[in-house]
A and B are shown apart, each in its own frame.
Chain A
Amino acid sequence: MRIGKSFYISFSLAVGLLILWSWIAVPFNDFKPYSQKIPDTALSFDMVPIPGGVFEMGSTGANEEMPVHKVELSPFWMGTHEITWDIFELFLDKNFELAVSEKPLSPQVDGLSRPSIPYLDMTFGMGKEHMPAIGMTQYGAIQFCKWLYLKTGIFYRLPTEAEWEYAARAGSKTKYFFGDDPSQLDKYAWFAGNSNGTTHPVGKKLPNPLGLYDILGNVMEWTSDQYVENAYQNRKSGISKDPIVPVQSLYPGAIRGGHYKSEPEDLRTAKRFYSKPDWKRIDPQIPKSQWWFPEAPFLGLRVVRPLHPPSQEEIMAYYNKAPIADY
């Protein structure tokens, strides 16, 4: 029996493609929780699937949250926890990453643009191990995602405002994902009522129904979006699909989730926050740092991964936006 050479080639090609496919995009039936190892280190972080769907975004609680409107989102994974210093510091300091890694860094990772090492103690005495990384700019948060991409080959990015609210709500239409009663917050969040004025190790409170810990409180989380106060006004009719407000200027950037000093009203899932130039007020250098907000110790990040990643060009366009100078 002869097996044609062309069959062999097609077969190998198919197997090859299958392997490649499973590497670059997990097949749909693998849309489940997983742990993302940081290659060549002992560190990892966990991701949970957020199935696509339609939800009602916004609330009647504040002008900038109105009107409540329908948004459809494609499926994505979201980090179960806020990114901690343990991982962020590898990105922050190449020498440290080299020292911790089991192998030399790839040329891409080696050549990556990294934060200026902050002249202040950016933990502000609140601790480092298992603590959320804090005080980074939106640019810094996105460059961290790029570092992750170069390390893992997987497209990680910041959530859009819509993705964040959708995931935080986990199907709820109430103020909080657990209902309207702020007295329940203590079970789920670090906030003004229980934090003692400091960040806490991630994952010590109960998660929301999708498995997201500290999604409210502890630290606020960066989104990919520009903050536009009346952004919802032009989404009044129909269903907005995967809405995003592209970043055009340095301020204000859209932020979500409340933090360790927030009052219950600010922990509502629809509550919107934005970045302020004041957060760099005590930066003594000019130009001011593109990477750090010395007066925003309450701001961190959580990553998402779309189930269907965009093209290589779109990925690089997301990561490679030139930083906007800040004087």
Chain B
Amino acid sequence: MKNPSNNPRRDFLKTSALVTGGLMIQPFHIPGAYASGSDVIKLAVIGCGGRGTGAVFQAFDTGHNIKLVAMADAFRDRIDKSYEPIFNKYGKDKVDVPEERKFVGFEGYKEAIKLADVVILAAPPGFRPDHFEESVKQGKQIFMEKPVAVDAVGIRRVLAAAEEAKKKKLNVVVGLQRHYQSNYRETIKRIHDGAVGDIIGGQVYWNDGGVWVNARQPGQTEMEYQMRNWYYFNWLCGDHIVEQHVHNLDVANWVKNSYPVKAYGTGGRQVRTGKDHGEIFDHHSVTFTYADGTVIFSECRHFPGATNRVDERFQGTKGNVYLGGGNQGILKAWDGKDIYNHNRENNPNPYQVEHDELFDAIVKGEYRFADAENAAKSTMTAILGRYATYSGKEISWEEALNSNIDLMPERLAWDALPKVLPKEDGYYPYAIPGMTKVI
């Protein structure tokens, strides 16, 4: 269990500064004094699905002087479906998005970002590196959804942009909302203070019934079909181990104050095997090993009818931990006595807290949030898991992070072809452990 370094906790904090909420507060300059309330904060949303729209609501609900000035999405209908409820609820004083500031297609995000002080990045994860890189380049404050990439190539771009964002003192909040959820904050703070001793093992789960499927429509190009069904294609989604399970893996990293050094696992397609299920697996089981030898076991699956479990458990030298998205946070000593039991009632809504804290920093001209580096490394943890289950091989963090296999299509256009295409029988090829090359 001994780490070569004497104090892994401190090393970790040094290398990924802001992960645990140890925030550095430094003033930064945004033209105009938001704090006075006289200047409007201009907001743009990139990716106008249900989540992007929800994030706009939450930004407005912070109560600050915010105006939505631009919207971008690959699909016109997504913008329309998003604009209507936003406009109906907040009206023309808050929503100023004329036709010329509704950007449709693959490239519109660049123009939308230009018009804003703060951007919401909520397109499918495969586009995140492009959108984040551009936002940082243009010097914007950023809220972006998890996961932040789908392959190592994308992760490296996000890590580089995260460094740049730090230099420019751009606040970046990422929608790994457990970092903004009081049961996780309070419980993990106590773990880090040593309440259950050193963490020497854990199990993290996202086992549920699965997600939506959109049927193929007549006349759709392959690109449009895959975009409408982004969940089932790795260049867009990264598989459900990345898209959803990243939450639980991120909690493991947070609790361990570290990232895994290697992964070994198994997975496949057992119940979700149709033509409309693209290329992703429906289950993954992965053993992640950390530098100090701690093993975290991870399991995610989409099996309807089976028992659900979306939570995290850890074992420490002095006691054990239970954490759950339903506001649970329980620390117990090995003799069974409660050390801490988080009150589940009346916790603030973490999706709102993300925005409350981000915009509070922005109006005060403070630099407080650099979530992108941790988000990239937690996303990389999930990608490492996928590499392990797809290949069937043990893969190290270093090997995985250096992978040059780029899942993005050569060209983004409605008539361009993604790299994974249906076979003659209409089914998509998918990974075969032992044969598939991932790095």
Contacts and interface: CB of A to CB of B under 8 A. Distances in A.
Q: Do A and B come from one complex?
A: yes
Given A284-B351, A286-B54, A125 B311 contact: yes
A125 B309 contact: yes
A285 B307 contact: no
B308 A282 contact: no
Contacts of A89: 209, 304-305
A100 to B, nearest CB: 7
Contacts of A201: none
Interface of B: 49-51, 53-57, 82, 85-86, 88-89, 175, 177, 207-213, 271-272, 274, 304-311, 324-326, 328, 349-351
A281 B55 CA distance: 13
Contacts, number: 86
Given A99-B271, A123-B308, 8 more contacts: A89-B209, A99-B304, A117-B212, A121-B310, A125-B309, A284-B51, A285-B50, A327-B57
Contact of A96 (B88, B208, B209): B209
A77 to B, nearest CB: 27
B204 to A, nearest CB: 13
Given A128-B308, A285-B51, A327-B89, A117 B349 contact: no
Contacts of A129: 307
Nearest to B86: A286
Interface residues of A, number: 30
B208 A121 contact: yes
Contact of B305 (A96, A127, A286): A96
Nearest to A325: B85
B308 A121 contact: yes
* Residue of A99, A118, A286 with most chain B CB atoms under a 10 A cut-off: A286
B53 to A, nearest CB: 4
A124 B305 contact: no
Nearest to A278: B349
A287 B307 contact: no
B280 to A, nearest CB: 15
B305 A117 contact: no
A7 interface: no
A125 B85 contact: no
15 contacts: A92-B304, A95-B304, A99-B271, A118-B208, A121-B308, A121-B309, A123-B307, A124-B326, A125-B310, A282-B351, A284-B50, A284-B175, A286-B54, A286-B85, A287-B85
A116 interface: yes
In the complex, which of the residues B56, B210, B212, B305 has the most CB atoms of chain A within 10 Å of its own CB atom?
A: B305
A93 interface: yes
Contacts of B49: 285
A119 B211 contact: yes
Given A125-B326, A127-B307, A297-B326, A285 B350 contact: no
A3 interface: no
B76 to A, nearest CB: 18
A120 interface: yes
A286 B56 CA distance: 9
Contacts of A123: 307-308
B39 to A, nearest CB: 26
B54 A284 contact: yes
Q: Looking at B175, B308, B349, which has the most chain A CB atoms within 10 Å of its CB?
A: B308
Contacts of B57: 286, 327
Given A99-B271, A125-B309, A282-B349, A92 B85 contact: no
